[in-house]
Amino acid sequence: MNYAWEAVLAADQLGIPREEIRYVPVGNGSPYMEIVQEMVNGQGVGEKNVEINPLYRFSREFSQMFDINLEGYGQTREIFFDCCMHCLVRQDLRQGLSKQEYALRFLLQDFLNGVWGKEAKQAVCQFEQGKLRQLLRLILKLYQCGNSRYLFREVMRAVYPGSLVYVSNEAIHQVLVYLGRKPDEREQKRMKFLQDMFLPVSDELYLFWENHFGIMDVEETMVLDKMVLL
């Protein structure tokens, strides 16, 4: 881990809010790395304070501010440096963003602002960050192609990797889903959101949480006390 923006991505994986990260300027860092850490090849963020060599990339901007001969206003300079680094890191992370990435961010912001309704806002907050990005990408794709049932299968594989989705041979508007997990309140909210978002109103969804329904000639589904009769 070398650059300040890498520390932000590592913090994202740990669930640390970006606004809680504090960039601390230090004078004993390596001239070849921006982040100052004991383990040169370290990949994680040990705490919310990230020590930075302010002269690694921005010597022209910070050289006078952190001149070793300059005394006084130490705390003020550190606060100003922290604010500047937050802005610079944000610009770093925006570089190279595609049109789709911007669309995904606007879409997420609409959800969080309640544009899609209170229930949708609460449901979106139930998804982990990695799965949330996949979900937003498929919602965007839904607008582009409109094949909601196919995308429902794809989003189920992304959010619930062990799930199985079936379409009834007898009734084309019946969709059967096996999840393989307990139906707690969080999972019920997520499934309700996915159903409303991806399935047509005419489709009827049947959820099988812990036990699969029995299928003739498929022994794994015909175990007594571990199957559901349709």
Question: pTM here?
Answer: 0.62
Note the pLDDT of residue 41.
47
Report pLDDT for 224. Answer: 52
pLDDT at 202: 87
Both ends of the chain: CA-CA distance in Å? 54
Ranges of the chain whose pLDDT falls below 50: 40-42, 216-220
CA dihedral (142, 148, 149, 150) in degrees, to 10, reads -30
Single-letter residue type at 120: A
pLDDT tens-digit map of 13-54: 888 888 999 999 987 777 778 888 765 444 555 578 999 999
Domain boundaries, the chain: 4-94, 99-228
